[in-house]
Structure 1
Amino acid sequence: MAQEIIMKRNRLLYFFIIIALICTGLAARKWQIYLPDMINVYLGDAIWAAMIYFGIAFIFNRRSMSFIAMLSLTFCYCIEVSQFYHAPWIDAIRHTRIGALILGFAFLWSDILAYTLGISISFLGEYFFFKGNRKEVNVVA
């Protein structure tokens, strides 16, 4: 029998975490000249992935942490793989500010790494900072 960690999440708190991550991500892009290049390569994408993690946790507020992490990784990876597809209509969306922030332009392995780091850090943050909101249940596999 496997154990799964189920969370009872406060949607209002998660909403504010999402807003804070959006603001942090936009600030990181604006002030990237002040950060080392090694950090700039990963920071924006890691923050974006963290925002996706908490957004999915907001929507599925009573699902397990592993479900949230896997769905978040799948979503981020699908967005990255979609960057191989170039048609006039989707490239027109990508050339808008919001389209560029959400869809990106070109596939990069470094983005996959950044998404994995951002979601892993979010998972660990949720695990350690919200201990009182979780319970472990036995799952028959």
Structure 2
Amino acid sequence: MNELKRGIYLLLIVIMIIFGLASRANGSSHPAFLAENAGDALWAAMVYFGFRFLFVRKSLQTAMLLSVLFSFGIEFSQLYQADWINQIRNTLLGALILGKGFLAVDLVRYTAGIIVAVFLDWCIFIRSNPRK
């Protein structure tokens, strides 16, 4: 069962990446609210599903806490602006993972993305199989 769950979490990670990149690439074709907020929420949801993939036997609450700590840690790390880390942030992959500059509203976006991911996870694995 754990291998099936890992496969589903991996699929969800890929879906979050695809939707997240699409939200950035085609932002002007989306409603303003989605264009401004979806990318960060999807990034945080991807982080959540990543923790679920890695720690499939742990609780939803554990994955949620780790996701919040990781996402907030990345955001607060953007307050640190040394040349070496800014060179990493100036690459496409570095910008996607580390971001570029601190925005307090991103913390709200991350929290919303994680909450939606936890709810989706609950619907797939807990609600559909109440004995587990």
Q: Is TM > 0.5 for Structure 1 vs Structure 2?
A: yes
Q: Do residues 114 (structure 1) and 106 (structure 2) align?
A: no
Matches of 2:83 and 2:40, distance apart in 1: 25
Cα distance change, pair 134–121 in 1 and its aligned pair in 2 (3 A)? farther
Q: Secondary structure at the match of 1:84?
A: coil
Q: 1:81 aligns with which of 76, 79, 92?
A: 76
Superposed counterparts of 1:1-141, under 5 Å: 10-131=5-126, 132=129, 135=132
Structure 1 runs not aligned, ≥5 long = 1-7, 136-141
Matches of 2:122 and 2:44, distance apart in 1: 17
The structure whose residues are more often strand, as a share, is 1
* TM-score, length-scaled by structure 2: 0.92
Percent identity between the two aligned chains: 41
* TM-score, length-scaled by structure 1: 0.86
Cα distance change, pair 133–27 in 1 and its aligned pair in 2 (3 A)? farther
Cα distance change, pair 12–41 in 1 and its aligned pair in 2 (3 A)? same
| Root-mean-square deviation (Å) | 1.6
Structure 2 runs not aligned, ≥5 long = none
Larger radius of gyration: 1
The offset of 1:10, in angstroms, is 1.2
Would you say the 8 A contact 1:69–1:119 is kept in 2? Answer: yes
The structure whose residues are more often helix, as a share, is 2
Cα distance change, pair 67–90 in 1 and its aligned pair in 2 (3 A)? same
Would you say the 8 A contact 1:25–1:48 is kept in 2? Answer: yes
Q: Which amino acid aligns with 1:71?
A: L
The offset of 1:96, in angstroms, is 0.1
Matches of 1:91 and 1:71, distance apart in 2: 25
Q: Which has the higher contact order (CA 8 A, sep 6+)?
A: 1
Corresponding pairs, count: 129
What whole-Å deviation, never above 9, does each CA across 1:89-133 have from its counterpart, x for those lacking one?
A: 000000000000010111111110000000000011111222227
